[in-house]
């Protein structure tokens, strides 16, 4: 079984055989070096109520959205 990770910059995906919250790598699509978030985290960002999001939400990279949502208490990470 593989896990899907999403580039914070261009939202290209990569598959890996292990599960972590995020990984750092250079994207094959956009060439940016940065965080790839696990698909489940990206999905949790997409389900947040629009009225609770910052004004610049749409222009933020995925990893910035994730950090903002954590700081605002819109999402919580659970220990597994």
The pLDDT tens digits for 17-54 are 999 999 999 999 999 999 999 999 999 998 899 999 98
In the chain, the percentage of residues whose pLDDT exceeds 70 is 98
Vertex 16: Cα angle to 31 and 60 (nearest 5) = 45
Asked if residue 80 has pLDDT above 70, the reply is: no
Quote the pLDDT of residue 78.
Answer: 72
Residues linked to residue 34 through DSSP beta bridges, in sequence order: 25
Quote the pLDDT of residue 25.
Answer: 97
């Amino acid at each position: 079984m593989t896990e899907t990770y999403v580039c914070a910059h261009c939202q290209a995906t990569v598959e890996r055989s292990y599960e972590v919250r995020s990984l750092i790598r250079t994207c094959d699509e956009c060439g940016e070096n940065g965080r790839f978030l696990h698909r489940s985290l990206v999905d949790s960002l997409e389900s947040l109520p629009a009225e609770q999001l910052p004004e610049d939400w749409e222009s933020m990279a995925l990893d910035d959205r994730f950090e903002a949502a954590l700081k605002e208490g819109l999402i919580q990470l659970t220990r597994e």
